[in-house]
A and B are shown apart, each in its own frame.
Chain A
Amino acid sequence: MSLQLFSFLVAGVVVLTGSLGVVMAKHPVHAALFLIQTLFGVAVEFLVVEAHFLAAIQVIVYAGAIVILFLFVIMLLGVDNAEDLSVEPIIGQRPLAFVGGAAILGLLLAIINSAGITGVPGNVDAPGPTGEVLPNVNQLAESIFTEQVFAFEVTGILLTVAVVGAVVMARRIPGALQPLPDIPAISGFGFGSTGDTDTDGDADAAMAAGDEQGDDS
């Protein structure tokens, strides 16, 4: 047994036990800790096939940032009580879930069994197009910053939007929900008053009455 296969099998056992632990742990904090175990195992699997940069990113981003975010939310909300799995909103949901999971697994294994993977498994540190041997990180950087540079820039926009959205949604608003501010420039237009082919006067009158009520309150 080669060292590569041995490392794969050891890390595979770590990944599988960790993922089973995530699903079966009663306590959400324990589930998060099992998730860290799984993610470290996956990072080792990345290292086995020489994806060094992604293994480092896996540890930093997933285990270092995402799981800590989970733990912070658990701590903030205090949802650390065990859940009651005996409640079934849909009759027979959980047995059906196991049947569905087994069906997904069987389908995936059948596809893997039938698919022939052609190619030369081996060192990704192969000679590059210009002839010299490029390390994995250099190859990845070259691909991201030349072919995929547009996707990379869009990634930056996505992360910015996600951060802004998270801040807006998780912000604590004092008191009850505030009404939207009344902006004269918008409310003066009225909806459909300009360029409206509708000649029904009743609708316009009702809309004007609604505006007056809104102003009074």
Chain B
Amino acid sequence: MLTPTYYLVLSALVFSIGAVGVLVRRNPLVMFMCVELMLNAVNLTFIGLAWGLNDIGGQVSVFFVMVVAAAEVVVGLAIVVAIMRRRDGATADDLSVLRG
């Protein structure tokens, strides 16, 4: 029998994997992909609870999370393109110009 707890456990696993990926990887593009993983984990939680609590509000939240994720990826990739034009093959560690 499927319960919402299954969804929460899967979501926690995916979120942790994404968080470790953001901290470990150095390529800005792969770090963005790991952020997408974390957003999808949150979507899984919303969907599981929308089903478990029989409330359509969770699905509406997922809709807005998807829109914000799309906007975030568009702006983030534009920033990555702008940076890569100036310095070739930059990793996230090289971008410390704003260090205080």
Contacts and interface: CB of A to CB of B under 8 A. Distances in A.
Nearest to A110: B12
Interface string B60-86: 101110111111111101111110110
A83 B27 contact: yes
Nearest to B58: A51
B37 A19 contact: yes
B29 A49 contact: no
A162 B69 CA distance: 11
Interface range on chain A: under 10, 10 to 19, 20 to 34, or 35 or more? Answer: 35 or more
A153 to B, nearest CB: 12
SS of B interface (majority): helix
A155 interface: yes
A23 B2 contact: no
Interface residues of B, number: 71
Interface string A60-77: 011001100110011011
A69 B29 CA distance: 11
7 contacts: A51-B50, A51-B59, A61-B66, A87-B26, A121-B4, A169-B75, A169-B78
Given A45-B10, A69-B73, A85-B24, 12 more contacts: A19-B17, A31-B33, A45-B44, A46-B47, A48-B2, A73-B81, A83-B27, A85-B25, A121-B2, A140-B63, A162-B72, A166-B77
